[in-house]
């Protein structure tokens, strides 16, 4: 009997010791990668994305860290520069993996995100791209099981712009200017789909390459077509150059000007007289004080105050995309009670994939794209006289969202 009790005591001691050793192996601090083109063409936008990601890290750490079964786990954000160069980005992604990161987010340039996604497909990692990825990326079998895209494709941007122009603003004759790449072509297809659905007519089309600075010939063609609305896919410095020339030629007096997708960083580079009266879709605009969805307006205000406290500026669209993405990554870790990519993916997709964001409810769709109640806000540029401060750039006119603004899953092969 004594021998039996001795054996049981040894077994119990070993069990406790084994459990304690296992718990001791669990980290009390983890690293996550923040990989962005902090130099080069997209540097200004990438800087805002970095701000959003680091704010999410700070929010988690201020509450003591991630709530994991073995205790609190603090998070360190490891920032690196992909330079918007495929070879550099892939190399630095692999470096982050070698440093033991538990998840990675980032990218401003869609081809870079797609290249990293290809690696993640073979070597699973919780990966959250924070750029607007090409529609093709969301086709069945393209995105890795552990990749979750917090922004939609350019097709959705184009669709929302087209619907806003034709249905909301009542502009039936559309001239569309694309960019000669997937960004511009996807946006064109979305705008055409919306125009057809809501009774619009495409009266003109052209496309120009990224980096075009002189739009004079194009704008003469636009004027000759006599559209009700001129929708342009240009973004960043291209949008600044285009809208300056639109204003110089006085096109805004002859038609409605609609820059499909904009951010505050881009708008700040546009003279007030050139931005005045210009419509655009904005993923997130910080001032929703007059917005009809009061719950979302309150959430946006709280997030804006949080962001201002850290950076002294209101959050821009891409900062918000990054914040949403990293908060979802962290929710995935906590809900899965693990850093395992498969487990994280499973819990994010559970229960219909629903989650909350600073701009309202959302859900992860089967293609791992985020579907938002308010995918983007329709905004109108303010004149210099209307502005109360340097960031008072737009008036929010409404929003678009839901499954209706997304390409159908069937069209993506599901």
**pLDDT one-digit tens code per residue, 334-360:** 999 999 999 999 999 998 999 999 999
Strand partners for 279 = 258, 380
Per residue in 64-121, pLDDT (tens digit) is: 999 999 999 999 999 999 999 999 999 999 999 999 999 999 999 999 999 999 999 9
In 213-290 the beta strands, taken as DSSP E runs, fall at: 229-232, 256-261, 279-282
Block residue for tokens 């964001």: 357
At residue 20 the predicted structure's pLDDT band, cuts being 50, 70 and 90, is very low
Q: Kindly give the pairing relationship between strand 66-68 and strand 29-36.
A: unpaired
Helices (H), 260-316: 264-268, 272-275, 294-311
Residue ranges and CATH numbers for the domains of the chain are 25-151+298-372 (3.40.50.2300), 155-282+375-412 (3.40.50.2300)
Calculate the alpha carbon distances from 33 to 2, 25, 114, 147 in Å: 56, 22, 16, 14
With a pLDDT cut of 90, the percent of the chain lying above it is: 91
Angstrom distances, CA of residue 294 to CA of 112, 280, 316, 360, 375: 37, 22, 20, 10, 16
Q: What is the pTM of this model?
A: 0.92
Report yes or no: 254 and 235 within 8 Å, Cβ to Cβ: no
Side by side, the strands of the sheet bearing 376-381 are 201-208, 173-179, 229-232, 256-261, 279-282, 376-381, 394-400
How many of the other CB atoms lie within 10 Å of CB of 317? 28
Per-residue pLDDT of 218-243, as tens digits, reads 999 999 999 999 999 999 889 999 99
In tens, the pLDDT along 355-381 reads 999 999 999 999 999 999 999 999 999
Tell me the average pLDDT of the chain. 93
What is the pLDDT confidence band of residue 15, given thresholds at 50, 70 and 90? Answer: very low
Q: How far is CA 276 from CA 186, 255, 266, 318, 409, in A?
A: 27, 13, 14, 22, 37
At residue 13 the predicted structure's pLDDT band, cuts being 50, 70 and 90, is very low
The confidence score (pLDDT) of residue 22 equals: 43
251-264, pLDDT tens digit by residue?
999 999 999 999 99
Residue whose C-alpha is closest to residue 279's, from 219, 227, 206, 229? 229
Q: Is residue 14 over pLDDT 70?
A: no
Question: Is 174 a residue whose pLDDT tops 60?
Answer: yes
Residue 17 reports pLDDT greater than 80: no
Q: Is the Cβ–Cβ distance between 161 and 149 less than 8 Å?
A: no
Over residues 150-179, the mean pLDDT reads 97
């Amino acid at each position: 009997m004594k021998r039996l009790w001795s054996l049981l005591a040894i077994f119990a001691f070993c069990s406790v010791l084994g459990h304690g050793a296992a718990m001791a192996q669990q980290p009390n601090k983890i690293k996550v990668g923040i990989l962005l083109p902090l130099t080069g063409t997209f540097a200004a936008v990438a800087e805002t994305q970095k701000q959003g990601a680091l704010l999410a890290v700070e929010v988690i750490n201020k509450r003591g860290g991630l709530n994991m079964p073995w205790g609190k786990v603090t998070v360190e954000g490891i920032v690196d520069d992909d330079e918007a160069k495929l070879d550099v980005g892939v190399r630095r992604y692999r470096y982050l993996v070698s440093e033991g990161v538990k998840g990675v987010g980032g990218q401003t340039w869609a081809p870079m995100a797609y290249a990293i996604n290809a690696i993640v497909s073979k070597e699973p990692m919780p990966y959250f791209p924070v750029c607007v990825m090409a529609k093709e990326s969301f086709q069945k079998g393209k995105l890795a099981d552990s990749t979750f895209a917090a922004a939609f494709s350019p097709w959705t941007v184009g669709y929302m712009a087209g619907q806003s122009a034709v249905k909301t603003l009542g502009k039936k004759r559309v001239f569309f200017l694309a960019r000669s790449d997937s960004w511009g072509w996807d946006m064109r297809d979305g705008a055409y789909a919306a125009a057809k659905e809501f009774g619009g007519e495409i009266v003109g089309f052209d496309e120009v390459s990224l980096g075009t600075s002189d739009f004079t010939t194009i704008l003469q063609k636009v004027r000759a077509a006599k559209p009700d609305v001129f929708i342009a896919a240009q973004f960043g410095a291209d949008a600044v150059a285009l809208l300056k020339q639109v204003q110089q030629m006085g096109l805004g007096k002859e038609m409605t000007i609609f820059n499909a997708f904009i951010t505050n960083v881009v708008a700040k580079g546009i003279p007030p007289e050139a931005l005045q009266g210009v419509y655009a879709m904005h993923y997130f605009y910080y001032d929703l004080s007059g917005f009809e969805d009061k719950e979302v307006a309150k959430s946006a205000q709280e997030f804006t105050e949080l962001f201002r406290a850290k950076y002294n500026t209101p959050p821009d669209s891409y900062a918000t995309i990054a914040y949403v993405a990293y908060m979802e990554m962290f929710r995935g870790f906590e809900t899965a009670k693990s850093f395992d990519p498969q487990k994280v993916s499973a819990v994010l997709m559970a229960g219909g994939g629903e989650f909350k964001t600073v701009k309202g409810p959302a859900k992860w769709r089967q293609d791992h794209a985020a579907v938002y109640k308010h995918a983007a806000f329709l905004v109108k540029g303010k004149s210099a006289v209307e502005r109360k401060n340097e960031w008072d750039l737009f008036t929010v006119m409404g929003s678009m969202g839901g499954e209706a603004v997304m390409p159908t899953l069937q069209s993506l092969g599901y």
